[in-house]
Chain A
């Protein structure tokens, strides 16, 4: 059968169940596709062909929820014995001695891991340009960025180089590239998915989540990776619902809030038009739409750029050339070794965030920056608490603009940071949020719409997103590569 690579996991499962295809054909289909388009997209940093073929031929479980389905991992997820580098020179050669919990869960359900996807170095970025391997390109326009930091994962799914992918989201790193690449990206509730084995950027914000071709696959992949893990104290011991039950086409009685603060200056006209049209679709499906206010929205980016870098500066202290990864040559003593290794091993954006975070935590600045940000974080969370007393979910744009040109914002970090303005609040408040395709710009670039819900209410997100998807055709369009 042709074009297996372009299908969703649930469709492939159907075909396999009917005996019309098999894991080997799917895998080879995906590899053939990658062979053809990867030179243009550059989504992979490590191809796991051999391992994947071996898995299909024997070792993989045959009867799991994802049996025979190729899955691509962001390069910050640890796989035992496989290079895991976070797109950074400082982790050159690092092969973790253990599997991330999500990796164990995927393999327990028969998923076929096909390699590692490119990302901004240590997930610092919104464009996938800061990777030490060079940028990934947007499949819809290879002169444009795919978004970031999970740009490789999103681009690979959009380009049909994999069936599904995992990304991680600290301030929008799943949703923003999903929006810019025209695929579905979900950041689950903080604590829904174990972070054990995810190389940390900001521990209190990071979540692993699915990047898929449609909402049903998103629900399927979440159901596999979600759940309490005693290795992650911040994962939550709540039962994992059967998310497929939430996939209904009816939105009657659903109260949708549209925050007025998300439609102010800075938003691209085409993005606003598409999202407003999308809200209209939701209304036509039976939802009740009302304007709400999230008054502290404009402070989210500031808060995030204190909390994130502060935690990152500490999380990244361990990269010092002692136990693993890169060690600079020619240092005569310990401190010199630290300094040379870190100065040569980290890229510019990583250094910038480490400096910013270190500064915000240092004596004399802690109260003014870090503590202040933690307090504003409370205010932002309270905004959402209030909003969710009058609505079941919140709909916003995912990104203020469609994909921009490679290099366009590279020299102005602040403008880059502002591309996460709509996605950051969900991380600060720990909320689940999805980005789904809701339109295209005049130049044919995808536009994403974001749906947020209360903590652990991924079901409402899936219900809303699924109904929208069934009522529209955006997710069916494919880039011309």
Chain B
């Protein structure tokens, strides 16, 4: 399943790269991309694990850069 999110307050490109790396490492995530220019995050993960993936992704984003909030696109 693919889900799209907006990363509000994404201002530094390096953070975007870090977030992408971190989310790729979450259990059940097949692919994750952060587009710095459109501030969009796309997570492609196992269907049944999606709720936990989203929860840990949100935590991960806050941890990496507390100014960024992850919202449903």
A, B bound = no
Residues of chain A touching chain B, judged by Cβ–Cβ distance below 8 Å, are none
